[in-house]
Amino acid sequence: MSLLSRFIAFTSITLKRFIFTATLIVSAITFVTVTATLSWILLRQAEDVSRRNSDAAARQILTAFTQAMEEGRSLADMTRIIDSYESSFPGHYEIAVHPAKSSTPPPAAAPAADSAISKAFATGNTQHQQTFTSFKHVFPLKAESRCLACHTGAKVGDILGVLAIDEEITANRNALLVKILLAFLLLLPVPFLMSFLVSRFVNAHVGNALERLHRQVCSVNSVADLTKLAPAFDNSELRFRELTDIFGAFGNFVSRIKDVAVGKEMLEFEIKVLERFIITSEAIRDWKERVNFLLREVNKVMPAYTIFCIFQIEEEAYDIEVFWLNPPSPETESTIEEIIRQRASQEQLTRNLPASTKYIHNIVNARGGTVDLDPQEIEMQTKSLILDMPQIGGVVGIGVQSQTVLDPVRSLVINGILTTLLNVVGSIKAIYKYTRDLEYYATRDPLTNLFNQRVFWELLHYEVGRSERHNNRFGILVIDLDNFKLVNDTYGHIIGDKYLYRVADTIHDNLRLGDILARYGGEDFAIVLPEADEEQVFVVASRIREALAEMEVTTTDGTRLRGTASIGMAIYPTHAQTAKDLFLFADNMTYKAKSLGKNCIIIPTGDDVVEVFQKSSEMSRLLMLALEEKRVIPYFQPIVTTATRKIVCHEVLCRVEVGGNVLPAAEFIEIAEKLGIVSRIDSILLEKVFQQVRKVGYQGSLFINLSPKSLIVKEFVPTIIRLARTYQIRHETVVFEITERETVKNMTLLEGFVADLKLEGFKFAIDDFGSGFSSFQYIRRLPIDFVKIEGDFVRNMLTDPKDLAFVKTLAVLAKEFGIQTVAEYIESEELLTVACDLGIDLAQGYFTGRPTADLIMKDN
């Protein structure tokens, strides 16, 4: 069985081998069977012929023997007759006569003696007997009346004896077997030939069909290859009904799986295209560059010549941006413009594109080959999506021109892609606009569009350095509007904002070309006048004061408001050699102008210089004394949730007791930074805050302002951790505010500082978020938990749509980054309600609670 199993396994390795082996076995068995059957039949026929011949010959001998007996011949004569026959066929016949008187045959006849002779004596009938080697014929010799003369003792019918004739057939049989064997050997190649021919015939049809199937299956290496499978075979090639049925079923399977394959291929195709539409935080520097990038990325998945976008820029004005992968020919440009116009009309744009519609063509690869397309080709290969109403970014339509559109299945996918692309392009342009606005308002005052305080300081520092290098003089003016609070209180913030806007325009119109004007804050303006001496600065200041006196702002009740201002001035390097001292000097001159009755310009004298710096020196002395005596006092301002209005945390504000007065940080922080004692003040403040937290058992969060100057002190971080451990303060309840009062020039240093405290579980917030562009660098590069939106924007958002949009944008941006928002300067119920509606999480201001030295417990 083991040998048979191995044989079967060997012959079943391949179909061709199995067919050949099986055919050979069947042919061999058939050949042997047929040969054996025919041989048996031939042998039987030969035996029958031999039997008949033998019987005829025996009867001939019997006739001759009987005739001799009738003639009365002697026994010797009978013997000679027998010998003559035996000699005629030597070794072929053996003839013997057995007389009845002898019960035992004579010795000569002993070999022939058998049961046939006995039966012949017993029955008196002729006996025929066949053995493998001979035919035996036994004839009884019965007495007749004419025999009685010689056989006197016999009666008619008695058995006188038997004639036994034994014919040898071995030689004839062997000769026949030799002939059969020769015929077998001659015909032996026939089974092999038949096996070869049959297996070749079967393999030519079954094997080839299976080989084709095998090649097709092996050709499938991806889902896309499934679509290339042949759906069916030619029935004339198969010949066999079973193969026709099998491959017919396979064809149906291929047709069904092609649909699945096409579906999956299209899904993969769509995913590959959509992957190119991901908007990253660093990608929206130029929205056109981003669309160019999208077109290049789309071409990695499908060939596309162009993408066009329709934007509504005004009520009845449209811009169409066409982005080409390679430069188009003038004819192709004109054709695509006409097709876009037709598509907009066919798809029922709210308003047909006017003749004034502006087409802007953008080239991705300016060095690429010229695109020259046939108009009919463009028409057939263009897919578009036009909307009734503009979406985000003002986009109202999108389209793509690609050969892929001709594929009906992919065309359906492109429909979905266009919808996504429309939203992506609209979002890109909107984000670009918002980002540009954020960048603009990071350097500009949103009400007056003048530079803000941060830019003023940067430009003032720059001008100091430039004037020092070139040995130039320059001046600054600090302008404080007189009685502006009265305008706001009497006529409201809308008139107040209008008044400020007119003041800014009036001042700007009276400056020299190159002078730098900034809104420093509230009703204060600051001006840098490059390359100007004291006389030139005074001339500009006088011109401004006179122009403000002539300016008119009409209120809703018809009242005409005029402007007056107190103006202080300072000259570099006459009055100070640093930016801070120069501004401090001019600011003191402004206060002096106010104290002298307002609406005047103060020209500094030598006594003013001495007085200002004496005051500065005295403040420095008192501040150092307060620091030695640790007269740093923490104040706490409540922060509430906009939804429930419950107190959940506090901001810690630094106060210093100097000469019996409690000074806010704004009055001493610049001097403290100049003296290099800010980090010491911060450390004392932290310790006193933690002491009070532990004393009252406060469980809420604390927002603590940190000066960037503290970051360069190596011991500051260990000090924070040590104090928190000493007073058992949970790290996650402490939120450090990073302020832009002093720009951190080494971002790596700040990142390391934040990372160290983040690892300890502390949290971070950006203070005055939106007041400077570095806020956005912070939010991108640092793990920020909170942003506190600049109070000037919050305070004016009820009256200024720009401020409202700005606050909303900042809130949305923070939410996208997963950062909680805090609105500052909440001074009314209305502001708190709007902050809540905008999705801002927390709020603080005089309406929610003023700063106090007592730490109020959280609301229950």
pLDDT score at 285: 58
Rounded distance between C-alpha atoms, residue 425 and residue 295, angstroms:
11
pLDDT score at 477: 94
Q: List, for residues 760-776, the tens digit of each pLDDT value.
A: 899 999 888 776 655 66
Mean pLDDT of 704-729: 79
- State what percent of residues in the chain have pLDDT above 90: 17
Reported as a pLDDT band with limits 50, 70 and 90, residue 352 is low
Rounded distance between C-alpha atoms, residue 284 and residue 430, angstroms:
10
Regarding beta strands 306-314 and 317-324, do their DSSP bridges make them parallel or antiparallel, or are they unpaired? Answer: antiparallel
> Computed over its alpha carbons, how large is the radius of gyration of the chain?
61
Reported as a pLDDT band with limits 50, 70 and 90, residue 547 is very high
Average pLDDT, the chain: 77
Q: List, for residues 402-415, the tens digit of each pLDDT value.
A: 666 556 656 666 66
Residue 437 has pLDDT above 60, yes or no: yes
Mean pLDDT of 581-590: 87
Residue 639 has pLDDT above 90, yes or no: yes
Mean pLDDT of 467-482: 93
pLDDT score at 545: 92
**Residue 244, CB-side half-sphere exposure with 13 Å CA sphere:** 8
Find residue 311's DSSP bridge partners: 319, 395
Rounded distance between C-alpha atoms, residue 285 and residue 431, angstroms:
9
pLDDT score at 110: 40
Residue 542 has pLDDT above 70, yes or no: yes
Residue 859 has pLDDT above 60, yes or no: no
Top mean pLDDT of 220-229, 265-274, 465-474, 576-585 is at 465-474
Reported as a pLDDT band with limits 50, 70 and 90, residue 860 is very low
Which residue in 823, 817, 850, 847 sits closest to 836, CA to CA? Answer: 823
pLDDT score at 483: 86
Top mean pLDDT of 198-202, 205-209, 778-782 is at 778-782
pLDDT score at 708: 64
Burial of 667 (0-12, 13-18, 19+ CB in 10 A): middle
Cβ pair 381, 403 in contact under 8 A = yes
- Please give the C-alpha separations between residue 550 and each of 213, 503, 545, 563, 564, in angstroms, as whole numbers: 97, 11, 9, 8, 9
Cβ pair 402, 418 in contact under 8 A = no
pLDDT score at 107: 42
Residue 466 has pLDDT above 60, yes or no: yes
DSSP state of 276: T
Residue 741 has pLDDT above 50, yes or no: no
3-class DSSP assignment, residue 629: coil
Reported as a pLDDT band with limits 50, 70 and 90, residue 394 is low
Mean pLDDT of 97-120: 60
pLDDT score at 620: 73
Q: List, for residues 324-339, the tens digit of each pLDDT value.
A: 888 988 888 888 888 8
- State what percent of residues in the chain have pLDDT above 70: 73
3-class DSSP assignment, residue 601: strand
pLDDT score at 112: 42
pLDDT score at 538: 92
DSSP E strand boundaries for 620-693: 632-641, 647-658, 661-664
Tally Cβ neighbours within 10 Å of residue 128: 14
pLDDT score at 239: 59
Which residue in 793, 744, 807, 739 sits closest to 767, CA to CA? Answer: 739
3-class DSSP assignment, residue 94: strand
pLDDT score at 519: 92
pLDDT score at 220: 67
Residue 719 has pLDDT above 80, yes or no: yes
The residue type found at 797 is: M
Residue 104 has pLDDT above 50, yes or no: no
CB-based contacts of 429: which residues, under 8 Å, 6+ apart?
Answer: 287, 311, 393, 394, 395
Residue 284 or residue 155, greater confidence: 155
